[in-house]
């Protein structure tokens, strides 16, 4: 399965997972500090509904701040009924959009991480295929930055997955399953309590 096919599968799988959520579950705080579950799903349809020129205009309106533009566009999508947003995620699952300068690993990683942002607070289990986890962890650690990995998170630490064959870096060890490492590397402090190793305290200090 190529990466675009994996992206489509992740979108359809997430749409199916959240389609039956109650209003209370939709309003649940996600692992993204400013967003509810509803907001996170809205964020995931922004690249499916907002054209590149529209996004550029939003960035310009936010004085060049990409993150502020992203929040603004997410807020606009989040005004739509939840069922409508979920339907877009399913219907446009095969979109091959990638951010400028990035390959398909970027949207795949966005989907995996935000899927976890939704599932962890709601206690919704799902087995993510090993190759997707490996691909996203490698993407995040090969060229960290762009607002995905907090600055200074990775240096001088060794990250080791306990459930798949993946490791990165050297130094004190941070160990955990691949899902938890994805969350920790992208700055989700909730993941820290599920990690082990003599590098966890250092990582905790960096994410504080």
**How do the pLDDT tens digits run along the chain, 208 residues long?**
799 999 999 999 999 999 999 999 999 999 998 899 999 999 999 999 988 778 788 778 887 777 788 888 899 999 999 999 999 999 999 999 998 788 999 999 999 999 999 999 999 988 999 999 999 999 999 876 556 898 899 999 999 999 999 999 999 999 999 999 999 999 999 999 999 999 999 999 999 8
DSSP, res 108: H
Three-state SS at 77: helix
H or E stretch at 144: none
The alpha helices in the chain, defined as continuous H runs, are: 3-18, 23-26, 37-49, 52-61, 66-78, 82-91, 105-122, 130-142, 178-185, 200-207
Give exposure, 31-44, as e/b (b: 16+ Cβ within 10 Å).
bbeebbbbbbbbbb
Structural domains in the chain?
A: 3-122 (no CATH), 131-207 (3.30.1050)
* Residue-wise pLDDT tens digits, 57-81: 877 888 777 778 888 889 999 999 9
With beta carbons less than 8 A apart as the criterion, state whether 73 and 59 touch: no
Check if the beta carbon of residue 111 is closer than 8 Å to that of residue 11: yes
- Strand arrangement of the beta sheet that strand 167-168 belongs to: 167-168, 158-161, 173-176
pTM of the model: 0.92
């Amino acid at each position: 399965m190529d990466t675009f096919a994996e992206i489509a599968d992740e979108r359809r799988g997430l749409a199916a997972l959240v389609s039956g959520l109650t209003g209370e579950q939709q309003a649940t705080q996600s692992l993204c500090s400013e967003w509810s579950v509803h907001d996170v799903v809205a964020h995931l349809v922004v690249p499916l509904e907002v054209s590149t020129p529209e996004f550029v205009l939003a960035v310009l309106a936010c004085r060049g701040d990409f993150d502020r533009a992203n929040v603004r566009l997410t807020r606009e999508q989040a005004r739509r009924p939840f069922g409508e947003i979920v339907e877009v995620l399913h219907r446009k699952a095969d979109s091959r959009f990638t951010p400028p300068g990035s390959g398909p690993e970027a949207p795949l990683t966005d989907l995996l991480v935000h899927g976890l942002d939704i599932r962890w607070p709601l206690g919704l289990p799902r087995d993510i295929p090993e190759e997707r986890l490996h691909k996203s962890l490698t993407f995040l650690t090969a060229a960290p930055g762009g607002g995905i990995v907090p600055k200074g998170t990775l240096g001088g630490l060794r990250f080791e997955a306990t459930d798949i064959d993946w490791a990165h870096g050297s130094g004190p060890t941070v160990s955990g399953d691949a899902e938890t490492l994805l969350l920790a590397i992208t700055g989700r402090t909730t993941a820290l309590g599920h990690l082990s190793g003599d590098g966890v305290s250092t990582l905790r200090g960096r994410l504080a």
